Amino acid sequence: MPESRPATLDVTVVLPAYNEAGHVVAEVDRISAALKATDYSFEILVVDDGSTDGTGDRVEGLPFVRLLRFPTNRGSGTARRLGTLEAYGRYVVWTDADMTYPNERIPEFIDHLVDGKAHQVVGARRSEEGTYKALRVPAKWAIRRLAEYLTSARIPDLNSGLRAFSREHAQPFLGLLPAGFSCVTTITLAFLANGLFVEYLPIDYAPRAGRSHFHPIKDAYRYILQVVRMVTFFEPLRVFAPLALTLITAGVFKIIFDIFTKSLRITTNATMLLLSGLILFSLGLLADLIVRTNRHD
């Protein structure tokens, strides 16, 4: 961090913006009005993520706005990560500049953090209004159920873009954030896997202003990969153990079957199933030991 860093503010709203010139000022005004009505000191850190339509120029010099410009598009995850690192606020809010989220409710999210009710507060959308809705809804449902199973936690909305958290609690996980949309999934899973409490507030989700940058196939694949990667990183046995036990069980049943049908001769595939399961379980135990050792360092 630069040595000229000012006194800490209460709240930094990190607002990634990529070609949002048509409505970014309206979004900034909405956030400013909501926070000016409170006692919180705040800033709005607009991250111009390589826009080509003059998005940054629209907000430069506006009250309460600090502008961070990227020369090229680096992804919303990178914008949120670097914005959080540059934040002056004790509490950080992530949201979007596309008029979809009820940003007038940001003070309510901060209130829950200040009251100690949660370490992270997430806006859980009541409905999906994005583009490619027919593909997004089932894909997100499946990914969310996978994440709930792997984390043993209820997750009403895994990838909501509206959330608030303490910068101190988020600091250890910022290096794990990917460049794309799955950064919001990552920060949720990181908190849950480390015993931090995530609270969900129901919110309405409006139709998007402008064009969506979400790709239904590539980004869905990245979400699934990131869910598995994050849970493996923090709780490896949640990934390794079910696969290993499945292989071991299949191997045992195959050995029993071979004994009764092949005159006590155990086939190679039965042995391979059993050994593969034992090796996978051993790898899971080793990974779990490394994770738990690092947590105590």
Taking the mean position of all CA atoms in its chain, how far away is CA 218? 16
Tokens of 217: 């196939």
Q: Rounded to whole angstroms, how far apart are CA atoms 249 and 251?
A: 5
Length, in residues, of the chain: 297
Tens digits of residue pLDDT in 239-251? 899 999 999 999 9
User: Can you give the pTM of this predicted structure?
Assistant: 0.80
Residue 227 has pLDDT above 70, yes or no: yes
* Neighbour count for residue 222 (Cβ, 10 Å): 19
116: left (phi over 0), alpha (psi -120 to 50) or beta: left
Within 60-182, where are the H helices? Answer: 76-85, 106-114, 133-151, 167-170
Residue 263 has pLDDT above 70, yes or no: yes
CB 11 within 8 A of CB 93: yes
Tens digits of residue pLDDT in 124-150? 998 765 555 555 667 777 778 888 887
Q: Higher confidence at residue 22 or residue 180?
A: 22
Tokens of 164: 């608030």
CB 123 within 8 A of CB 162: yes
Please compute the mean of the pLDDT values over residues 79-92 and round it to a whole number. 96
Q: Which of 102-111, 199-208, 239-248 has the highest mean pLDDT?
A: 102-111
**9-234: what fold?**
Spore Coat Polysaccharide Biosynthesis Protein SpsA; Chain A (3.90.550)
Q: Rounded to whole angstroms, how far apart are CA atoms 233 and 222?
A: 16
Residue 8 has pLDDT above 60, yes or no: yes
Tokens of 234: 């923090």
Task: Give, for 246, the enclosing helix (H) or strand (E).
Answer: helix 237-261
* Mean pLDDT, the chain, whole residue set: 87
The contacts of residue 159 (CB under 8 Å, 6+ apart) are 140, 143, 181, 182, 184, 185, 188, 223
Query: How, if at all, do strands 120-125 and 198-203 pair?
Result: parallel
90-to-164, 174, 232, 276 alpha-carbon distances in Å: 11, 15, 30, 48
Please compute the mean of the pLDDT values over residues 209-235 and round it to a whole number. 70
